[in-house]
Structure 1
Amino acid sequence: MSPMERLYDITFRDPPEPQESTPIPLVHVQADEQADIDISGGAFDFVRSIRVYHIQYRQHENRDGDCNRSDSTRLGSYGVQGDYRWTRSTVGQVPTASGLSIPNGCGSYFYRSVFVDWRDHAGNYGSEEVRY
């Protein structure tokens, strides 16, 4: 089974019994936006390999025959200590594992998704994409 199928199976295999509603205690979440341990060593390279592409691309030909293109792609990535940041990117930098497929010419095309890719601790490539 794929990872998504396994997750679905685990989630719905044994549905939880309804319980009386009790308040959930609030837990303080780390506010400095980085790991609370030192993750700068090579053993944590898999964290820094995670890339999140927020893809927003549109193209169409206007009445005058001009091609209008809009690319608002951004790239999210992790720094040395797990700090997360967004930077400007382009559809040209999106990995080929994405379903993004811009047609030749200026055919009408719209693509919006979140694409995540990574390399695990053994160096194996993985990716997931959600269109919305």
Structure 2
Amino acid sequence: MSASNTSAICQKGASFDAPAPLSPMERLYDITFRARPEISVPNATVPFVLAQADERADIDISGSAFDFVRSIRVYHVQFSQRENRDGECIISDATRLGSYGVQGDYHWQRSSAAAVPPASLLPRPAHCGWVGYRSVFVDWRDHEGNYGFEEVRYRTPCGPV
């Protein structure tokens, strides 16, 4: 089996090569850049109706079938640490956690770099060394309970990335 193709063997001994499934980032890229955008032209004969969002899902998603939605966590990581001349560890941590509520309402709350899951590339030095780290880390569990994550790192103003 090659890295780019998945080979399947049928009961009669025949086989075929199917393309490997796209990663979540490749799927997002396809949706964003490759899919032809739909163009909507206003129709003057249809009345315009104002709608107000109440930050909730349009359907009831409180059941366990929608646990995968509530499993999505978004960490906005802004963390730095350094040792000053006196040997004191100076830490700046403005990490926030975004998550979904029972009915799909989304909210942010204060968090910390210590709460970011180990799958993140966030450096975790044993002693106070220079660390400057900014990222958005998203993790989730799908409807079968499989763990997944993506992380986008940002350059820090100075020092290593």
Shorter-chain-normalised TM-score: which range?
0.7 to 0.9
Contact 2:123–2:131 (Cα < 8 Å) also in 1: no
Distance 1:12 1:72, change over 3 A: closer
- The CA deviation at 1:102 is 2.0
Question: How far apart in 2 are the matches of 1:9 and 1:82?
Answer: 25
Q: Deviations over 1:65-98 (max 9, x none)?
A: 2110111111111000001111111111111111
Corresponding position of 2:95: 73
Partner secondary structure for residue 143 of structure 2: coil
- The CA deviation at 1:9 is 5.7
Partner secondary structure for residue 69 of structure 2: helix
Given the alignment of the two structures, is residue 4 of structure 1 paired with residue 5 of structure 2, yes or no?
no
Given the alignment of the two structures, is residue 125 of structure 1 paired with residue 151 of structure 2, yes or no?
no
* Bigger Rg over Cα: 2
Structure scoring higher RCO (CA < 8 A, sep ≥ 6) equals 1
- For these two proteins, the number of residue pairs brought into alignment is 126
Contact 2:73–2:98 (Cα < 8 Å) also in 1: yes
Given the alignment of the two structures, is residue 111 of structure 1 paired with residue 133 of structure 2, yes or no?
yes
Q: 1:1-132 residue pairs with structure 2 within 5 A?
A: 1-8=22-29, 31-132=53-154
Q: Deviations over 1:100-122 (max 9, x none)?
A: 12212111111110000001111
- The CA deviation at 1:6 is 4.8
Which runs of 5 or more residues in structure 1 are unaligned? 17-21
Distance 1:75 1:9, change over 3 A: closer
- The CA deviation at 1:3 is 3.0
Partner secondary structure for residue 46 of structure 1: helix
Corresponding position of 2:9: none
Partner secondary structure for residue 144 of structure 2: coil
Partner secondary structure for residue 40 of structure 1: coil
Aligned-pair Cα RMSD in Å: 2.6
- The CA deviation at 1:8 is 4.0
Question: How far apart in 2 are the matches of 1:11 and 1:48?
Answer: 24
Which runs of 5 or more residues in structure 2 are unaligned? 1-21, 43-47, 155-161
Question: How far apart in 2 are the matches of 1:99 and 1:64?
Answer: 29
Partner secondary structure for residue 44 of structure 1: helix
Distance 1:9 1:38, change over 3 A: closer
Q: TM-score, normalised by structure 1?
A: 0.81
